[in-house]
Amino acid sequence: MELGIQGQTALVLGGTRGLGWSCAQALAEAGVRVIINGRDRAHGMAAAAQLPGGVFVAGDIGDEAQRAALMAEVEKTGLPTIVVTNAGGPPPAPFEETDAALWRRSYEVNVLGPLEIVRRCLPHMRAQKYGRIINITSFVVKELYPNMALSNSLRIGLTGAMGALAREVAASGITVNGLLPGLMDTGALQRVITDRSKRFGHTESAVRLQMAEGIPMQRLGTADDFGAMCAFLASTRAAYITGQNICIDGGLTKSVI
């Protein structure tokens, strides 16, 4: 399918690994010039070299100064009309083990950082009369998950802000949607598996099997399951889809909507 986005520029936050990297690859395959962001410069440069015309910009979006420097580099390269926000997610922990410092840091990374990056890109999208904002969050937006107090709260916070934005910019040719991964076999899930293994005394393989058995498709998701939907939402084909949150979870989420 021709997606109609050849020649556009995309910024993929957290785009050097896992689900972000899957999105970056799918966008590049559709002819998009992709700027990927991450904190590991050596790894990021190597990843960008695998994308036609790929560019890497270093920076931690949870740090105000680094966000500003990141966007200064992006502006030199060329502002994007496609922005994919992505962060590894807050650490797994029950509510009683989360303190104020952890809440503040997690808020900067998972809510304020993505919002500030998007805000900087909006004027350019309005001028182009074209914009695609795609937020990688989590299935917990629709169905809460145990021992994930930070993620359950902050993912919903970002979703609410982006849902409001979707209605404000729709008439300008800009869409805003969320991609909600389920239990995807990436580094972020590995942190949950490790935590659960230590907390309950199970082997990591047993935890992994238990997770897979709770999914109707009977397997964990992979990064390869993810990128194509990101590219579709970024395309001209998805021009009438906005304010939506789409689960990519093998049927895990049980919510009605």
Q: What is the pLDDT of residues 166-186, one digit of tens each?
A: 999 999 999 999 999 999 998
The burial of 63, by beta-carbon neighbours within 10 Å (0-12 exposed, 13-18 middle, 19 or more buried), is given as middle
What is the DSSP code string of 95-140?
A: GGG--HHHHHHHHIIIIIHHHHHHHHHHHHHHHHT-EEEEEE--GG
Query: From CA 253, how far away is CA 173, in angstroms rounded?
Result: 30
- Whether residue 18 is found in the same domain as residue 136: yes
pLDDT at 238: 98
Q: Look up residue 168 and give its two tokens.
A: 């404000």
CATH number at residue 39: 3.40.50.720
- Whether residue 108 is found in the same domain as residue 201: no
For the segment 156-170, the average pLDDT, to the nearest whole number, is: 98
Number of domains in the chain: 2
Between 52 and 188, the higher pLDDT residue:
52
- Whether residue 153 is found in the same domain as residue 205: no
Is 235 a member of any domain? yes
CA angle 133, 115, 245 (to 5 degrees): 45
Q: Which residues is 37 bridged to in the sheet?
A: 57
pLDDT at 73: 96
Is 248 a member of any domain? no
Domain carrying residue 173: 9-182+226-243
- State pLDDT tens for residues 94-115: 899 999 999 999 999 999 999 9
Q: The whole model's pTM is what?
A: 0.94
- Whether residue 199 is found in the same domain as residue 89: no
Query: From CA 233, how far away is CA 97, in angstroms rounded?
Result: 37
pLDDT at 105: 96
Query: From CA 160, how far away is CA 257, in angstroms rounded?
Result: 15
Is 251 a member of any domain? no
- State pLDDT tens for residues 197-211: 988 899 999 999 999
